[in-house]
Structure 1
Amino acid sequence: MEIEELLISYANGERNFAAINLSEAQLSGVNLSSANLSKANLSVANLSRANLSKTDLSYAKLNVARLSGANLSEANLSHAILNVSNLILANLSNAELIEAALIRAELIRAEFSGANLTGANLSNANLREARLRQSNLSRANLSSADLRGSSLIAANLEAANLQGTDLSRADLSTANATNAEFRQANLSFCNLSGANLSGTNLRWVDLRGANLRWADLSDAKLSGANLAGADLSNANLHNASLVHADLREARLMHADWTDANLSGANLTGAKLHSVSRFGLKTEGIICEWLDLSPDGDRTQIRRLNPEEVRKFFHQTLPKIQIIIDAPLDHESHIILATAYYKIAQKYPPLSQPPTIKVGQRRTMLTFAMETDNQLFCAAFAAILPFADSEETQRNIVRFLQMLQVNNSTISLAKEQIRIQNVSDFLTERLSQTFQIKLMKPTLNIPKRLRFFQAPTQTVVCNSSDQTLPVYNHPNFGKHWVKSSSSFDPDDITTIKSAQYTLPESSIISDFVKNFPHSQS
């Protein structure tokens, strides 16, 4: 069919031109919207600026075709062959391109928003500054493609192949790239904030200066990746592999990298405010200094020698232990659970119930804390149900007073400033917690219950695995009975508070010296 005959037929309402042969045809600017051109041969045809919206081009051959500026919105190009075609500035929004072939195609600034490119082959294609927002690229082959400056906001790249792809300065915020292949790709200065990269292969990827805030990188493979200067604030790096990764001066504030493998990684200058250090693999880690300031502005620099590096990255979970010199009975258990529920309403850090270990003669309550700076305030609140609460709380106040006094004798100015900052912060937090004492009568603890009247020990353990005894009743471990000729061994008198010998002030300073003073 000649071109003139085709256009006349279309103008007369004919739409079915399936399998038509229009190779090398000059169709620039034509309107074939909603036509059926499935299995048509349009190789080397000139369709620049043509209106092909809603056109069926499934299984069509468009090799080396010129489609620059063409309107292909909502067109069906599934299984079409567009290798080496020119689609510069073409509009393919909401188009169907399932398993289409676009090898080495020119797609600069093309519009693919909402398009379905599932299983499409775009290897070596030029997609610079293309718009692929909310497009479906699952299982697509984008290996060695040029996607510099492109927009892939909320795109689906699940199981896609992007090996060796250049995505520098591209926007993949909130994109789904689970189990995708990015090995040796260039993602420098790329926006991946909020992206799902769980299980993704990012080995040897260039992520310098990338924005990975709030990204999910759990189980991701980042061995050998260059993350220098990258922003990983609040990112999920649980169980991620960062073996020999470059994390120099990376922002990791509030990130979760529990069980991550950092063997051989370089963390010199990394910003680690509010980052837990539990369960990390750190053999051969390199770290000359860290930025622990809350804003990453180097106001809290910590320099580390090799031995200090090992200790710093083998953090233990901060915890509070209250040991009661009596076994826990069923009635006391119910009252204890109710009391801690009420306390948690006023003091959320105790919202997680304690683990309880009950022996024949004693009971141990263990409260796991998220940060060191919660220890003293949480202990102040956790002891509230017990008769020893007043003396234990008084000791906590004494500890902070001793910290202020002892700090003036420290000769090193930097250490003195750091401990002063921590002391001021803890004192401020404790003053905010102090009102919790007023709720003790509302806990309704019966005085007749031996469990709550028994002597206690309270110990806090920081993330460096240092322990500090807060209170130890002088009669802990001793049997208490009434002084009468006939007595019930369970009829225990109320314990009177007794003076407890406080630890030396230097021990308290050493315990808190590594606390970040503004950690929440």
Structure 2
Amino acid sequence: MESEELLKRFELVKRYTEGDRDFTGINLNEANLSRINLSQSILRRASLFITNISGANLSDADLSDANLNVARLSSTNLSRAILNGANLNVANLVRADLTAAQLIGASLIRGELVRCQLSQTNFSRANLTEADLREVKLIEANLCGANLSGANLRGASASSANFQGANLHGADLTKAELNGVNLIDADLRQACLQGVNLSGANLSGANLKWADLSGANLNGADLIDTKFNGANLNGADLRNTNLANAHLVHADLTETNLINADWVGADLTGAILTGAKLYLVPRFGIIADNISCEWVDISSAGDRSAIQQFNSPSEARKFLNHTPGLVRIVVDAVLDYSANITLATAYSEIARHYRAMSFPPNIEVGYRRTNITFRFESDEHLLPVAFLAILPFNDALETQKNIVAVSKNIASQNLNKNRIVQLYKGLNAAIDNLSEAKEMLQITLNLARETKFFQSPTQTILISSGQESLTVQSHPNFGGRGGKNQENKFSVPERQKVVDFLASFDYVD
């Protein structure tokens, strides 16, 4: 038997040395081809069952549809090789080099690929069920539609790889480097992703039901419509993520870092949120029924310097179903292009002096009127922003007088001293910045006062997070009310309405 194997090897080497490269359909089952050089050979449909090809050079070879089941290919050079449709089930590819190789539709069921070089390799639609891929290099590899169910990818490096639509059900990706990968619509149910690096990855539409992502890094990941039902995200880093419409039903978010995450539209029914870091996280537009949450960290650094405690599930639910406060200026005129430019210039300059206005307002232009709406997470910005936002309009002075009058009721509210000081500081900062802002905006304001849009009657309405509204100013001629002989008097809001409005503020201790 040994002499027969030697003969096969001798004849193959002889043909290759003489320049023959086409070995299509050759039968080399159980042959010993270790360390052989068959670079650039054509081995399509070749039978290499249980063949020893370890340490061989098969770079740039064409092994399309070849049978390499149970073959030994450890440390083999298969860089740029074509193995489309090939069978490598239970094959030993430990430390093999398949850089930029093509394995489209190939079968590597239970294949051993430990520490393989697989960067830029094309595994699209390949079957790698239960394959051992520990510590492999899959950088920029293409695994689109591949089957990796039950595969072991512990410690793998696959940054910028494409796993779109891949099946990773039950796969082990513990401490894998997957930053910037494409996992759109991938199946990661019950996968182990402990300590994995998925920063900047795209997992939109992916299925991670019952997956373990404890301690995982998903900073900046795209998680739109991702399914995390029953998933373990304990201590995970989800800063700056987009969780819009994500499914987090019964997910464990204990001490998860969600600073600056956007989860509007997410479903957190039955989720555990105790200790979650929620600074700059929207507290509206989510489903938070039956959640379990004893406290959350709302400090900017996530260092527990600001804690929000809850005495009951209903308190936690109310906190997470916060309604944003609104400042709405209704102008009795239609915004035109010229006025829009002036308004944008004015608000851009004002935002330099009051950072809370750095996000542009929502502008709705109707048939007769224009609505300018600013939205805020904290009610403390309502009075200062209304004070500054009205500045370009002719109604500015009277509106600002009314806002100051409203503020005189703050001290009478049943609030702690720090909150009262905070509210006063916000409004005083706006007043202090007014003269500087006016100086910088002098030319713009002069243009505004010559424009019909800014001369039109206005109505300034504040809506607290408690859904209590207060009209701080409404021009007597707003909506065509009054006549030419009517005196333009701006009335101060009724004291009881002011008291009710201030009492409705949502305060975070």
Q: TM-score range by the shorter chain?
A: 0.7 to 0.9
Other-structure match for 2:354: none
CA contact (8 A) 1:242 1:261 kept: yes
1:198 aligns with 2:204: yes
Distance 2:427 2:306 in 1: 17
Q: Give the drift of 1:106.
A: 0.9
Question: What does the per-residue CA deviation read over 1:162-199, in whole Å, with 9 as the maximum and x for residues that have no partner?
Answer: 00000111111111111111111111111111111111
Q: Give the drift of 1:368.
A: 3.5
CA contact (8 A) 2:361 2:375 kept: no
Candidates 338, 345, 349, aligned match of 2:348: 345
Q: Give the drift of 1:343.
A: 1.8
Candidates 475, 489, 514, aligned match of 2:507: 514
Deviates more, 1:155-164 or 1:302-311: 302-311
CA contact (8 A) 2:269 2:291 kept: yes
Classify 1:417/1:388 alpha carbon distance in 2 versus 1 (closer, same or farther; 3 Å).
same
Where in structure 2 are the equivalents of 1:122-271 lying within 5 Å?
Answer: 122-271=128-277
Distance 2:434 2:14 in 1: 84
CA contact (8 A) 1:76 1:97 kept: yes
Distance 1:515 1:166 in 2: 41
Other-structure match for 1:384: 391
1:311 aligns with 2:318: yes
Distance 1:56 1:6 in 2: 16
Deviates more, 1:377-386 or 1:273-282: 377-386
CA contact (8 A) 1:143 1:161 kept: yes
Residue type of the alignment partner of 1:340: L
Classify 1:453/1:61 alpha carbon distance in 2 versus 1 (closer, same or farther; 3 Å).
closer
CA contact (8 A) 1:153 1:171 kept: yes
Distance 2:70 2:254 in 1: 45
Other-structure match for 1:485: none
| Counterpart secondary structure, 1:369 | strand
1:463 aligns with 2:470: no
Q: Give the drift of 1:313.
A: 1.9
Classify 1:335/1:81 alpha carbon distance in 2 versus 1 (closer, same or farther; 3 Å).
closer
Where in structure 2 are the equivalents of 1:8-157 lying within 5 Å?
Answer: 8-157=14-163
| Counterpart secondary structure, 2:371 | strand
Distance 2:160 2:71 in 1: 30
CA contact (8 A) 1:418 1:513 kept: no
| Counterpart secondary structure, 1:30 | coil
CA contact (8 A) 1:377 1:433 kept: no
CA contact (8 A) 1:450 1:492 kept: no
Distance 2:114 2:421 in 1: 58
Q: Give the drift of 1:339.
A: 3.8
| Counterpart secondary structure, 1:80 | coil
CA contact (8 A) 1:243 1:262 kept: yes
CA contact (8 A) 1:399 1:508 kept: no
Q: Give the drift of 1:340.
A: 1.8
Classify 1:430/1:246 alpha carbon distance in 2 versus 1 (closer, same or farther; 3 Å).
farther
Classify 1:467/1:440 alpha carbon distance in 2 versus 1 (closer, same or farther; 3 Å).
farther
Q: Give the drift of 1:246.
A: 0.9
Q: Give the drift of 1:264.
A: 1.0
Q: Give the drift of 1:137.
A: 0.3
Classify 1:421/1:87 alpha carbon distance in 2 versus 1 (closer, same or farther; 3 Å).
farther
Q: Could you state the TM-score of these two structures normalised by the residue count of structure 2? A: 0.86
Q: Give the drift of 1:347.
A: 3.9
1:278 aligns with 2:284: yes
Distance 1:265 1:356 in 2: 40
How many residues end up aligned between the 2 structures?
A: 493
Residue type of the alignment partner of 1:313: L
CA contact (8 A) 1:343 1:381 kept: no
Distance 1:206 1:248 in 2: 13
Question: What does the per-residue CA deviation read over 1:80-99, in whole Å, with 9 as the maximum and x for residues that have no partner?
Answer: 11111111111101000011
| Counterpart secondary structure, 2:14 | helix
CA contact (8 A) 2:153 2:174 kept: yes
Other-structure match for 1:292: 298
Classify 1:340/1:125 alpha carbon distance in 2 versus 1 (closer, same or farther; 3 Å).
same
Other-structure match for 1:486: none
List gaps (5 residues or longer) in structure 1: 482-488
Distance 2:307 2:57 in 1: 61
Other-structure match for 2:355: none
Q: Could you state the TM-score of these two structures normalised by the residue count of structure 1? A: 0.85
Distance 1:492 1:111 in 2: 84
Q: Give the drift of 1:57.
A: 1.2
Other-structure match for 2:436: 435
